[in-house]
Amino acid sequence: MSIPIRRLAVACLLLTLTGCAPRSWKHDAAVQAARSACAGLDEMARQSCIQFHAVGTLNPEVCRLAGMWVDDACLQAVYEAAGDPAICERLYLAGVRPTCRAYYAGLIREALSTPAPLPAPARVADAALANLRPLTRSGLNFFGDWSPDGQALVYSMSTAPFAHGQAIYGERPPLLVGWMRADGGGARVLAEGHSPFFSPDGRTVFFRREVPNSGMSELWAVDLSGGDPRRLLEPVGGLTIHRLDGGRLVVSETGTYAPLRAYDPATGRLTEPAGPFPSNSPETARLSPDGTRLAYAQVQDVVLADADGSNAHALSQGGGFSAQVWWSPDSRFLAYTSGNHPTDRLVLADRDGRAVATLLPHLEESGYVSALAWSPDSRRLLVATDAYWQQPARPTRLTLFDTQGTGKVLLETYLTGVAWAPAPPGGGAGSLALGRWDGPQGELAGDDIWLAELTDQATLARLPAPTATPAPSPTPPLPLPAADLAPEDAIRRFWQAIDAHDTRTAWAAQASMVRARQGLATFQVDWQCVEHARVKDIRPMEGDERREMFEVQVEVETAAGCSGWMQPGPFTVVVREEPAGPWLIDSLNTGP
């Protein structure tokens, strides 16, 4: 061997020991990003975070961070999201590859034997939900919009767990925009943001992005064919968007008398079709999809006008605040609540405001309207109602109505929203997307996307497998206070548990209605800012012979970055729900 060849051999040997050898999975950019993002989380949150990053990048190597015995679940989430059987050969666990191949073989068989759409119910009375099933399972997903062909959807997803409806004090976990097929495959991350929706041709996804520490939002867009996300509108406070026929977007903002603006994505032009109009809640105003009529709340009235604000007249008078309006897709009908007070109602009117039917005559009985979705053909509505704070807690009630006012309850479970997919080409009522959470007493108050089909009872009875109703997670036994504990000692026990970061014991010290309304997961988020707490003094309120109201002085030390946390008031009300039961905290008030 000549000298140059020997030198080359030595060089190759050195490179083999250093750079020529395959790079360790630990040096993978996606692995490093996930390790950094998931560091410092508790074990449950860490596993969710690792799986989120593995699925978001479709990189099985990220699952190695989960550790032995649990990484196979992470790999399953990756290969199911990939939508490509080639992913099976990239799995580092040889034992998971056959399962992956079998999964895709099953998808192929299912695609070859896809049944026809289920028939739509002829009458509301015959309606039923079939094939109710979860599309996502991580507890971190929020439905956004169906694609125009109903074959895909976009959604928001959190990068870390947080309690239902609440952000963790301090920095909220970032939200990302995701896309997936309606069968759950092909999931991918599109951009950072939330509240996504499709363009009419399905090629572009619009979404909102928050401006940090400003309370302002921006409108962004990203093309599904590729390219970087782009900002379309400058920051707006309380940005709200709804769509018109032809692709124009109506942009509104929080602030009394703020104008409505119509934005044309094709030209980038902003116009004010209605001009300034007297609405105390402009973010709730809605132009009809054909752009010819305008409905909005004005103090305690619901008003209907022409699109430019002229010829305005009240549809309801003297209702509560927070009235809402929903136009049908064909602009022929308007559903509206006269307010969000128990004495208000849900009414269906024609496009000129003439009442057609009263769908919910007393919100005090039905609960407030938390979501409403029209069917694509404008013939039916799905209405979700939830109990008011002062009412006994219950799951969300999902009711189907026709335009004559006939209704039927289809489902009772905990929902955050409902959306009707475009009608399938072969007929049928189509699919529904349901935003579902685990319930206020569940261990994880997370959000996921469920799907279902609307059909009739006869078809439901012929399906091979029964449709299961989702149930909230069971609540484990609670460490309730002892029944012989004095009210003052029950209050001290609550604060001692807070000081010890024993949130389960503190949560159990509350009245059952309070626990049902708030939930353990949300309670943990609310109180995580407290580092230490010490009761300095407890005194019964003067004149309270039943000893149910106390003035409590507590010294609280909060963690850094929790400046927004609000300490409860100094007045505590306790209640004994059963004659021989323990004293429980009913409320922590700022006033007696």
In the β-sheet with 141-146, what is the strand arrangement from edge to edge?
A: 141-146, 152-158, 175-181, 188-192
Does the pLDDT value for residue 169 go beyond 60?
no
Using pLDDT thresholds of 50, 70 and 90, give the confidence band for residue 198. Answer: very high
Assess whether pLDDT exceeds 90 at residue 446: no
Please give the Cα distance from 166 to 518 (Å, whole number).
11
Average pLDDT of the segment spanning 38-61: 83
The answer, yes or no, to whether residue 586 has pLDDT greater than 80, is yes
Confidence band (pLDDT; 50, 70, 90) for 10? Answer: very low
Q: In angstroms, rounded to a whole number, what is the distance separating the alpha carbons of residues 333 and 351?
A: 5
Integer Cα distance of 349 and 330 in angstroms: 13
What pLDDT score was predicted for residue 114? 54
Tell me: domain 487-589, CATH 3.90.1150.10, correct?
A: no
Average pLDDT over residues 287-304: 88
How far CA 546 is from CA of 485, 540, 543, 580, in Å, comes to: 15, 10, 9, 15
- Is residue 501 over pLDDT 50? yes
Q: Does 444 have pLDDT greater than 50?
A: no
Asked if residue 432 has pLDDT above 80, the reply is: yes
**Structure-token match 């509104």, residue found:** 252
| Residue 571 to residue 568: CA distance in whole angstroms | 8
What are the structural domain ranges in the chain?
24-112, 124-462, 487-589
Mean pLDDT of the chain: 83
Mean pLDDT to the nearest integer, 399-413: 95
Task: Identify the weakest region by mean pLDDT among 12-16, 21-25, 325-329, 512-516.
Answer: 12-16
Q: What is the mean pLDDT of residues 400-414?
A: 95
Instruction: Work out the pLDDT band at 247, boundaries 50, 70, 90.
Output: very high
More confident residue, 282 or 538: 538
Quickly state the pLDDT bin for 347 (edges 50, 70, 90).
Answer: very high
Q: What is the largest CA-CA distance in the chain?
A: 106
Q: Please name the helix (run of DSSP H) or strand (run of DSSP E) that holds residue 419, with its range, or none.
A: strand 415-420
Q: Which residues contact 101 (CB under 8 A, 6 or more apart)?
A: 85, 88
User: Higher model confidence: residue 295 or residue 513?
Assistant: 295
Which fold does the domain 124-462 belong to in CATH? Methylamine Dehydrogenase; Chain H (2.130.10)
Question: Hey, is 194 helix, strand or coil?
Answer: strand
Lowest-confidence region among 89-93, 103-107, 491-495: 103-107
More confident residue, 324 or 278: 324
Is residue 397 within 8 A of residue 409, CB to CB? The reply is yes
Residue 428 is given by DSSP the state S
End-to-end CA gap in the chain: 96
Q: Note the pLDDT tens digit of each residue in 466-496.
A: 556 666 555 567 888 999 999 999 999 999 9
Sheet holding 240-243, edge to edge: 240-243, 249-252, 261-264, 269-271
3-state secondary structure of 266: coil
Q: Is the pLDDT of residue 111 over 80?
A: no
**Residue 374 corresponds to which amino acid?**
W
- Closest Cα to residue 379, out of 421, 329, 413? 329
